[in-house]
């Protein structure tokens, strides 16, 4: 990895999210469907159970918060939320959401590069969340190392909704996995047909950096967490799809996997 490579990926993410910010929520059905929303709420509840007994209010950092879906769930769960994102435009969409609805306490919005923020920040957090963000970065181990250093004792890192790098263990299951993907994507294309062409033709090849390697190796993530003093509490592999019904079929009948979630505690 070179600094030039990292800078190129950062620049690509700034440009991609500048373009898609006005349409982000309309484009990303996989983050909005009922199955994914329910799954995220259960993950937050699990993190809160791990943090039970703390005498002070719980403080959470949402790294790469985007338009604020995860941050709003954290706020609803009574966390004091710091919402950090690289994209000014994505935060502007989030800020408009906050203007239209009452959230107490209201998340604090921070526009910054994750590596710079985590290296320079003097705050410590009870929970740090990476939700669908690590596949956008070049150096996943460095992100984990920096986040680990910003945790309070006994604090939690949640890594969720990240693409899973894996081998195909069952060709039959993979066949059904691919068969389900086709109608799911076809329906998605139909649903976004009225969006402007600029929203449907964004090039993610550089910004979604880790996807060019088939996703992120969950074993590597577990190893890095342990190397930085965290104990893995839970690890789940599941299938994310555009629509909730497709998610239910994939996860209950086919039992296919393309995404992972890891929750780990410091100490």
Domains recognised in the chain with CATH numbers: 3-266 (3.40.50.150)
Confidence at residue 3, expressed as pLDDT on a 0 to 100 scale: 55
C-alpha–C-alpha distance, residues 182 and 241, integer Å: 11
CB 84 within 8 A of CB 63: yes
Angle at 146 between CA 141 and CA 150, to 5 degrees: 145
Which residues, 6 or more positions from 202, have their beta carbon under 8 angstroms from its beta carbon? 16, 19, 20
Nearest to 163 by CA among 233, 241, 64: 241
DSSP string, 93-152: HHHHHHHHS--SSPPEEEE--HHHHHHH----EEEEEEES-GGG-S-HHHHHHHHHTTEE
Q: How far apart are CA 62 and CA 247, in angstroms?
A: 24
Average pLDDT per 10 consecutive residues for the chain, totaling 267 residues: 74 95 96 96 97 86 97 96 98 96 91 96 96 96 98 97 86 88 96 95 93 94 98 97 96 94 96
Q: Is the pTM of this model over 0.85?
A: yes
Pairing relationship of beta strands 80-85 and 108-111 according to DSSP bridges: parallel
């Amino acid at each position: 990895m070179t600094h030039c490579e990292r800078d190129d990926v950062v620049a690509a993410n700034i440009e991609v999210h500048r373009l898609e910010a006005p349409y982000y929520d309309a484009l990303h059905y996989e983050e909005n469907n009922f199955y994914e929303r329910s799954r995220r709420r259960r993950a937050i509840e699990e993190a809160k159970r791990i943090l039970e007994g703390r005498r002070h209010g719980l403080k959470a950092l949402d790294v790469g918060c985007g338009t604020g879906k995860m941050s709003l769930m954290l706020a609803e769960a009574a966390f004091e939320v710091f919402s950090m994102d690289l994209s000014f435009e994505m935060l502007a969409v989030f800020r408009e959401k906050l203007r239209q609805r009452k959230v107490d306490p209201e998340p604090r919005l921070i526009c910054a590069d994750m590596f710079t923020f985590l290296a320079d920040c003097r705050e410590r957090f009870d929970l740090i969340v990476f939700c669908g963000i690590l596949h956008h970065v070049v150096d996943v181990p460095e992100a984990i190392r920096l986040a680990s250093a910003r945790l309070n004792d006994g604090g939690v890192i949640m890594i969720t909704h990240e693409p899973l790098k894996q081998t195909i263990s069952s060709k039959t299951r993979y066949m059904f996995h691919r068969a389900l993907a086709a109608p799911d994507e076809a329906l998605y294309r139909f649903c976004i047909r009225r969006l402007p062409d600029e929203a449907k033709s964004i090039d993610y090849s550089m910004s979604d950096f880790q996807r060019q390697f088939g996703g992120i190796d969950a074993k590597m993530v577990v190893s890095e967490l342990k190397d930085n003093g965290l104990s893995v509490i839970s690890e789940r592999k599941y299938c994310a799809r555009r629509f909730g019904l497709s998610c239910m079929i994939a996860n209950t009948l086919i039992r296919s996997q393309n995404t992972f979630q890891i929750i780990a505690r410091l100490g």
